[in-house]
Structure 1
Amino acid sequence: MRSSTVLVLTCTYAAYAQTNLPPLANDTVFAVGTNITINAPIDTVWNVLLDWDNYAEWNPFVRQQTLADEFFMPVPAENRTLVALKAAGSSLENQRLILNVQIPPLPLPVNASTPSNILHSQSSFENITAMQPTQHRMAWKQVMFPDFILSAERWSALSSVGLFGLQTLYESREEYGGALAGTLQDLFGEGLQESFDAQGVALKARVEGS
């Protein structure tokens, strides 16, 4: 029988006492996550994280992340720009997202022309559960299954660190619960962890221009 103990599949995640992530939910079966320090101010990193239409230029995990309406129809492109998303702020909560991901991730580096590995491609339909620009954190949750079958909520959060706040701690975590969580962990746990770590490394390179 699977233990009810939460397993966080990263050796670096617990290295920071500082965190801007909320506590794990009580019914979490397992979680994956990563963190990395980026040599840039917090708003610079936040802008890159929120620029969803350009994820394909650098992200080896989430190759496409599209804002959609309640029927999962993509919103017009002019309403998905970084300026529009920042202006919308917390009003983005309860809007939908369509994610096209690679689990495990594509080899780094990637750009918009990098072909997907069709054997590792997946799509997910999500609801934005938190958009908190003043706290520099956001979250979305899968809506393809009811929670008792599978719940999966991903948080991304930033914190100012270092001298004069010139560095940023990026944290990302997804927690899973429900009847299928254990099976998901067995099938994709390692690949998910690789994907989270790869996105952190790629985000740092994107922001720092390396």
Structure 2
Amino acid sequence: MNEQIETHIRIDAPIDAVWAVLSDFQAYPTWSPTIAEFFGTPKVGQRTKVLLTQPGGTSITMNPIFLKIDANRELRWKGRLLLNGIFDGEHYFRLESLSNGQTELIQGEKFSGLLVPFMKKMIHGNTKLGFEAFNRAIKERVESSL
């Protein structure tokens, strides 16, 4: 089974300013409400532990593999619960430069695995709310740093 969520936010800043905040992994504990901490520096093809929190107080430490770190364009990782195929998620942030000097941040996740049918309420509930909270927080962080 598969399920996907995607959120969008426009940030009043150029793409390089948004990327600077998105890729400053060590600063996340100071501003991010949902990606609480990276334990190490993410590198493509390697795993880095990440502490994730959701509205409602649920926290989990994942050890995703980073699939893409493409400056000013995309950050992508894939995590799993226990074993491949149980509950996997491919999380992404994409940045698009807009003609008016703004940047659109697209955050989403593609879920797959046996548990997806049982997790739809969480995916479309607290997980999506968490994405939206992160989007608002990064917008505030970027815009206040200009």
- Scaled by the length of structure 2, the TM-score of the pair is 0.89
Q: Percent of counterpart pairs with the same letter?
A: 26
User: Shift of residue 94 of structure 1?
Assistant: 1.1
Matched with 1:66 is: 39
- Deviating beyond 4 angstroms after TM superposition, the runs of 4 or more aligned structure 1 residues are none
* Residue 99 of structure 2 corresponds to residue 126 of structure 1: no
Q: Call closer, same or farther: CA 1:43–1:187 in 2, change over 3 Å.
A: closer
Of 33, 40, 56, 2:29 maps to 56
Of 55, 74, 84, 1:147 maps to 84
User: Shift of residue 143 of structure 1?
Assistant: 4.1
Where is the strand percentage greater, Structure 1 or Structure 2? 2
**Is the 8 Å Cα contact of residues 76 and 91 (structure 2) preserved in structure 1?**
yes
Matched with 1:32 is: 5
| Number of matched pairs | 145
Write the distance in 2 (CA, Å) between the matches of 1:30 and 1:144: 15
Write the distance in 2 (CA, Å) between the matches of 1:145 and 1:139: 20
Partner SS, residue 40 of structure 1:
coil
Partner SS, residue 182 of structure 1:
helix
Matched with 2:98 is: 161
Matched with 1:11 is: none
Q: Can you give the 5+ residue segments of structure 2 that lack an aligned partner in the other structure?
A: none
Task: Let me know the Cα RMSD of the aligned residues.
Answer: 2.0
Of 47, 51, 54, 1:100 maps to 51
Q: Can you give the 5+ residue segments of structure 1 that lack an aligned partner in the other structure?
A: 1-26, 68-79, 86-91, 106-118
Write the distance in 1 (CA, Å) between the matches of 2:142 and 2:62: 26
Higher relative contact order (CA 8 A, sep 6+): 2
Alpha-carbon displacement from aligned partner over 1:62-107 (angstroms, at most 9, x marks no partner): 111223xxxxxxxxxxxx4xxxx7xxxxxx21111211121127xx
